[in-house]
Amino acid sequence: MSMKPQPIPEAWRAPIIGFLEYGQAQSFSPETLKTRRAQLVRFAKQSDVPPSQVDRSHITAAMARCKSQSTRRNLRNALVTFFRWCFQEGFTAADLSEFVPRARMANPHPRPCPEQYIEEAMSKATESERVMLALAAEYGLRRGEIAQVHSDNVVTRDDGYSLVINGKGDKQRILPIRENMAQRIQAAKGYVFPGRFGGHVEVSYISKHLSRLLPDGWSAHKLRHRFATTAYAQSHDMLGVSHALGHSSTVVTEHYVALPDNALCTLVNAAALPGESEHIKPCAPRPQTAPPRRANGSIRYPYDGKHGKETASDAPEAVRMALMLTLDFAAWRAQGVQSFDILAEHYAELHRVRAIGHARRSSVVRAAARRLAKVGMIELVPNHLGRIRGNICHDTATLCALAGMLAAEYASKVPR
């Protein structure tokens, strides 16, 4: 079931509705118009002033609230086009689009779904859910594209079958498919995933089913990452992978493709100096194990107790990291340093944080930092860049005293 759209504030009704009509006249897709409406309504409620009273501070605050670079870039596109249109139509006295900060493109962080998770999902999925999984993992379809698959989209070729995919922005692409998938789709004699009241299901329906089958933290989008990574590893054709995914540029595709270790080892070996006889061997793939779960299906994290969940910051490794951070903060404070900016993954590597099961090592460092912030030793600045940023709130003596208490706590938790 889709969420009901939020009502538009009265002062913003005319400009937002007019802008959406303008976008519809420019052939924006229904999904784009829906996204733009939600972004503008959220901005209107957060700014809490009429469009004519919006200033640079309202725009900057809205951009700063975004949780990721991609969200920030999408909001920027919405605000720039909206305020430029508002100025042309007389809703604002100045062109506020000039006040929207630039947002750099996020660095690629591909995260393909492991094969074992897909196999486990297939084993407990229904027949229709297996089709969903296959379309996402084997053919790289988006959730919205999966929802729209129709038996008429299958095209018979001389040497097999192809599927006409209705992508974002009303763009179509054609992708070869296997015979068994073509037969599954043709057997539907209509939409493969029909809606309750005609048409096809909504995107949320596909998301709900795939998220239920995959472990927490893995979604339908990560299945597209899996397709992109596997396809590029076999073909080394970034342009072809980009076309298969329906991307407008290979720059976008780079965010989906994880370069395998084998390729890097081959590159380093190829660049070896003359006379170098040692060749680097690719690392054996680390076995991917599904996270342990409770009887109700929720994940049992490494820091869970027998009779309920402890906090992540109470785990022995988190206490050790809190101790290490406190010692570093004390040393920096003695040197007159007030603020800090730490890359969590690098810090975890430096101090050899033990990764347990599916938990990321950097999450232990972040839990330790939250613990120190909770007792007022530091002040954290929120960010979603994998970094720990903030200010040191106490002097060296206080931090050293806390380090002594943390050392005692860690000693009590480590078995002798």
| Domains of the chain, CATH where assigned | 10-99 (1.10.150.130), 115-255 (1.10.443.10), 316-413 (1.10.10)
In Å, how far are 15, 40, 73, 103, 172 from 60, measured between CA atoms? 20, 14, 13, 11, 37
Per-residue model confidence (pLDDT) at position 1: 42
Per-residue model confidence (pLDDT) at position 416: 62
Burial of 4 (0-12, 13-18, 19+ CB in 10 A): exposed
Question: Phi and psi (nearest 5°) for 302?
Answer: -60, -25
Per-residue model confidence (pLDDT) at position 222: 92
C-alpha–C-alpha distance, residues 262 and 44, integer Å: 50
Query: What percent helix, strand, coil does the chain show, rounded to 5?
Result: 55, 10, 35
Question: Residues near 327 by Cβ (< 8 Å), separated by ≥ 6?
Answer: 399, 403
C-alpha–C-alpha distance, residues 75 and 42, integer Å: 11
Mark the ranges of the chain whose per-residue pLDDT is less than 50.
1, 302-311, 356-358
Q: How far is CA 17 from the centre of its chain?
A: 30
Per-residue model confidence (pLDDT) at position 308: 44
Per-residue model confidence (pLDDT) at position 261: 61
Burial of 166 (0-12, 13-18, 19+ CB in 10 A): middle
What is the pTM assigned to this prediction?
0.55
Per-residue model confidence (pLDDT) at position 292: 61
Report the length, in residues, of the chain: 416
For 367, the enclosing helix (H) or strand (E) is helix 361-374
Q: Strand, helix or coil at 284?
A: coil
Per-residue model confidence (pLDDT) at position 55: 92
Per-residue model confidence (pLDDT) at position 57: 93
Greatest alpha-carbon span in the chain: 79
Q: Residues 201, 190: contact at Cβ < 8 Å? A: no
Per-residue model confidence (pLDDT) at position 206: 93
For 177, the enclosing helix (H) or strand (E) is strand 172-177
